[in-house]
Structure formats: C-alpha cells, structure tokens
Amino acid sequence: MLLIRCPHCGPRNQDEFAYGGDATVKRPADPASASDSEWHAYIYVRDNPRGPHEELWHHAAGCRRWIRVRRDTLSHRILATGPVHGPLAEEEGR
Amino acid sequence: MVKYSIFSLLRNAVSNHENWPEAWRSPTPKPAYDVVIIGGGGHGLATAYYLAKEHGITNVAVIEKGYLGGGNTGRNTTIVRSNYILEANAHFYEFSLKLWEGLSADLNFNVMLSQRGVLNLAHTDADIDAHSRRGNAMRLNGIDAEFLNREQVKAFVPLLDCSENARYPIMGGLLQRRGGTARHDAVAWGYARAADARGVDIIQNCAVTGIRREGRRVVGVETERGFIAAKKVGIAVAGNSGVVAGMAGLRLPIETHVLQALVSEPVKPVLDCVVTSGAVHFYISQSDKGELVMGGDLDFCNSYAQRGNFPAIEHVIRSAVALFPSFSRLRMLRLWAGIMDMSMDGSPIISKTPLDNFYVNCGWCYGGFKATPGSGWMFAYTIAKDEPHPINAPLSLDRYISGRVYDEKGQGPTPWAH
C-alpha cells in the first residue's frame, strides 16, 4: 500500500488516487507537422525504467488535481511529489 | 533422453527411483552459438525446442538469470484458452491451443492439460451482448464457444451465487469448453528436457549483463560467465523486456506492471472449470491439489516488484466471496506476484526489430502462459527464417508506427488498463 503525499492535501492512501502513467512523455509541439515516428514515440514508446520513474497521479477521491510523483518501480518507495508543473519536494526520513 | 513410459516407471520403481537420469544437462557455455535466447521461461525454452525440432537449428543456448520457470512461468494461474475477438489474436491463440492439445505426447512429458472449460460470466445486458459478439467472432474463426443462460451457468457451476439478489447478478456466460488449465512447471520442464535432448544448451543462474552491438548487428551477449558470441539473439524476458532490449539500445512500446495471484488452503473438489468475470475483474479455478487459485487486476502503476499490494488482494477476496459465498471461510495459503510486459494495445509482439539479427518476444500482458507453445513456435520460425510466419506477422513491432494495433478492448495506449 502506498502513502502518497498530495502537495495540496498531504499524505493520503493510494486508494484515493488514480494512476496517470509516465509523466515525461511530451506531445509533439506542432501536431500538424509531426512525423509518424514522433507520434509513435509520444503515444507508444516508454523508457519503462526499473528504478526511479516520474509519473502522474490523479487525486480522484480528494482534491481532484493531478500531481507528479517520482517513485522507485522496484522498491515502490516514493522519492518526491509535487504539482504537475511545479518543483517536486523530496520525501524525507523514509 | 530416457523415454518416460509405464516401463521406465516400473524399471525405476524397482530401484526405488534412485537412478533416474537428470532431465537436462547443466553445460558450460560454449564461446559461440548460432542462436542465443535470453530468458529460460516457457517461451524461451519453447523457442529453443522448436528451433531444434522444426528448423534443425540445434547450436542454441538458452540463458536464464535464475532457475527455469522461476519467473512468470511459475507465477501464473495456469489458464489456457483462445477466446479472442480480433483475427490476429484469435488465429494466434487458437494455433497455440492446438499445440497444447498435443503437447504432452510431443514432449513425452505430462503437462497435465485439463480442458475443463473457461466460463466468462455476464452480469448485465451489455455483458450478454459483448459475450455473444465474442462467441460469434470465435465461432466464425473456427474456435469453440457456447453461450450459457443463467440456468445453464447455475447447473455448470453450482456454487456460484446465481440468486436474484446477488451482489453481481449472473445473467449468463460464455463458455469455451476446450479451455482449461495446465501444470505450469511441467511446461518449462518438458520443453527444457525435450530441447536439451536435441542438443540445446540450457544455462541457468547466468544473468545477461549486456548486449554487444556492431552497428546494426548484435554480435553476442555479455553474461556473468563471460561473453557469448551469437549469430542471432532473441529475447523472451517478459517483465524485463524493457531492461534487456535497452541493453541493445532499443526502446519498446511496453510498460512493466505487477500482477498478483493467491491460493487458498486445499479443499476437496468444488470447482471443475475456470470462472472469470471481466466486469468484476476476477478469475478463479481449483488446482489439482485442491487449492482455489484466484486473481484479479494489476496494481495499476508501473512496477518491477515481484510482490503484491493490499488493495488488489482485498479486491480479489471481496470478489471471490461475492460470487462464491461458500468460499468466505477459506483461509488463504499464500500469495505472490509476477511482473507483466504490458503492451500498448494489449496484444503480444513476436517480431523482428530495427537491428538485423535481434528479435523480440514480449507484450504478453497477463496472458503469456496459454501462449507458450504458439509463442515458441512462431518465435522460432521468425528467428530461423528471419521473417515472421503469416500468423505472427500482424503481431509485429512496427504495427505501432503504422497504427495497425490490435486492441481487444478499444482501450487505447494505457497499458495498465488492458
């Protein structure tokens, strides 16, 4: 069970959140001129790291805001959390 | 290889079963092979077996970081079926199911295939429509399927709560009678023994630490026991596909997610088929030992941890008790988890890659076990001929570039939701 620190609400149970996937993928800046391979990279290809992973979570049963979480996919330890576009605050003492 | 038969059993019974020969060798790796398969689970071992049997390529090594079948081959819930809608999947999984039906005889190893039927429950009018459509699609592809109404479901699975006021009302179900279960360890062991007998080297406890490339060609693999040169390299490493493909400089349309299963204490026979519910996200069967084997959803976030999390366990137990009230007093014996190679469309990948002599077998999501024979057969074909068989040609890596994806649920590229 994860305890996820929502930057707006504080630490909350994982059950309150919905997962939103890899936070590092970027939609092509100019969709009209993006090539198939650029769309392919954005839509389908992932780093899928075994270790720290930047990801989006939706605090669906809380403030209903999206947040950004850096979590280790091997240990499940949450390393840092923050707003989607803001700086991440490191988790301390865990 | 000593042929297993009633006569070899009797002969060894006389000597208290102390003189059985080893089922496969533990050879020292040679400096070079024609084909190196990374991953000694069912898929990798089956690939090696069919390379030797179908294509006469016997200078093959299977390199496994742990022990045979210690990954997802030994962690699944042993279900075998071919109830798919889309043609690419239907033909592939049906090919695989047909191989299952002759597998014990082919391998001279009892994989304990039990075609006890797989029943998908329908709980709503929409479920009835969806299951009927699936059943019709299956029958059009020559695959057996029957729709059962509620009375028939009740007769088929007496312990299900088919009452009017059930938490998940049961309105019918789609039954594939040829589906069922098999013994998962036996599949790895049977393929290992049969491949070894044809000259394949199976190298356990030897992690691959790197893949050596010269331009667009792979020249071999770095392992804990030194460099091994290879004319062709194939990977069948399930949840570690991203990590191993990364060693060759490739990125894949794959995310790794953890899936749990659990078993109860063994009880007398109470459930003689596999029951699944897509609406509830739950499935259950009874093992030959008597344990009720059950599972549910992924944990819904990327994970390489081969262990589970409580929310998913709670969901599984809640579902089990809602559908089968009489199971409420069962105690759970153990639980475990495996890491799934979830593809972006929920369908598998058996494919060539942008590298000349490097092949990938991945994207099995949570359906890899039933695919084992077909996956090995098709992967062997693809490696031997350097081109896919017509059956696995649609399941290529470049379908994600062309947009010809096979998304059974119409879910889109959210791999944790397939």
CATH label of the domain that carries residue A33: 3.30.2270.10
Q: Give the best residue of A44, A58, A68, A75 to mutate against chain B (max B CB count within 10 A).
A: A44
Quote the CA–CA distance of B92 and B307 in Å, as a whole number. Answer: 30
* Domain edges within chain B: 28-109+183-253+345-417, 118-180+256-342
Q: Give the best residue of A38, A39, A46, A70 to mutate against chain B (max B CB count within 10 A).
A: A46
Specify which residues B360 forms β-bridges with: B235, B351
Residue showing tokens 């923050």: A82
Quote the CA–CA distance of B202 and B205 in Å, as a whole number. Answer: 10
Specify which residues B173 forms β-bridges with: B121, B148
Using CB atoms, which residue from A1, A45, A74 is nearest to B251?
A45
pLDDT at A75: 94
CA distance B60 to chain A (A): 29
Q: pLDDT below 70 — which residues of chain A?
A: 93-94
Strands B60-63, B32-38: pairing is parallel
pLDDT at B311: 87
Using CB atoms, which residue from A19, A37, A44 is nearest to B344?
A44
Quick check: B140 contacting A, CB < 8 Å? no
Closest CA to B74 of B377, B391, B375, B368: B368
Q: How far is CA B392 from CA B88, B96, B112, B342, B388, in A?
A: 8, 11, 27, 18, 6
CA distance B312 to chain A (A): 9
CB atoms within 10 A of CB B318: 14
Q: How far is CA B151 from CA B255, B271, B276, B396, in A?
A: 41, 17, 17, 43
pLDDT at A93: 60
Q: Give the best residue of B258, B260, B299, B301 to mutate against chain A (max A CB count within 10 A).
A: B301
Contact B96, B374 (CB under 8 A): yes
Strands B349-352, B358-362: pairing is antiparallel
pLDDT at B321: 97
Give the torsion sign (CA, B201, B72, B278, B119): positive
CATH classification for the domain delimited by B28-109+183-253+345-417, as one of 3.20.20.150, 3.40.50.300, 3.50.50.60, 3.20.20.70: 3.50.50.60
Contact B39, B235 (CB under 8 A): yes
DSSP string, B290-309: SPEEEEEEEEEEE---SS--
Closest CA to B398 of A24, A45, A49: A45
Buried (b) or exposed (e) across A27-55, using 16+ Cβ within 10 A?
Answer: eeeeeeeeeeebbbbebbbbbbbbeebbb
Quote the CA–CA distance of B258 and B366 in Å, as a whole number. Answer: 10
Mutual orientation of helices B42-55 and B368-385 as an angle, nearest 10°?
40
Contact B304 A74 (CB under 8 A): yes
Q: What is the ipTM of this complex?
A: 0.94
Which tokens in the block code for residue B54?
A: 């179908």
Q: Which amino acid is at B106?
A: D
Quote the CA–CA distance of B234 and B236 in Å, as a whole number. Answer: 7
Strands (E), A1-94: 3-6, 10-13, 18-22, 52-58, 66-72, 78-83, 89-90
CA distance B168 to chain A (A): 22
CA distance A49 to chain B (A): 7
Superfamily (CATH) of domain B118-180+256-342: D-Amino Acid Oxidase, subunit A, domain 2 (3.30.9.10)
How many domains does the structure of chain A reveal? 1
Closest CA to B35 of B418, B376, B359: B359
CB atoms within 10 A of CB B326: 12
Contact B302 A43 (CB under 8 A): no
Residue showing tokens 């137990």: B317
Quote the CA–CA distance of B253 and B36 in Å, as a whole number. Answer: 23
Mention every residue, 6+ apart, whose C-beta is less than 8 A from residue A28: A34, A38, A39, A42
For residue A26, give its domain range: 3-90
Mention every residue, 6+ apart, whose C-beta is less than 8 A from residue B186: B109, B110, B111, B112
Q: Where are the alpha helices (DSSP H) in B70-157?
A: 87-101, 103-107, 125-140, 150-156
Contact B290, B263 (CB under 8 A): no
Using CB atoms, which residue from B251, B310, B400 is nearest to A1?
B310
H/E stretch holding B42? helix B42-55
Predicted confidence pLDDT, tens digits, chain B (418 residues): 889 999 999 999 999 999 999 999 999 999 999 999 999 999 999 999 999 999 999 999 999 999 998 999 999 999 999 999 999 999 999 999 999 999 999 999 999 999 999 999 999 999 999 999 999 999 999 999 999 999 999 999 999 999 999 999 999 999 999 999 999 999 999 999 999 999 999 999 999 999 999 999 999 999 999 999 999 999 999 999 999 999 999 999 999 999 999 999 999 999 999 999 999 999 999 999 999 999 999 998 999 999 888 888 999 999 999 999 999 999 999 999 999 999 999 999 999 999 999 999 999 998 899 999 999 999 999 999 999 999 999 999 999 999 999 999 899 999 998 8
Quote the CA–CA distance of B354 and B112 in Å, as a whole number. Answer: 39
pLDDT at B344: 96
Closest CA to A26 of A90, A74, A85, A88: A85
pLDDT at A86: 83
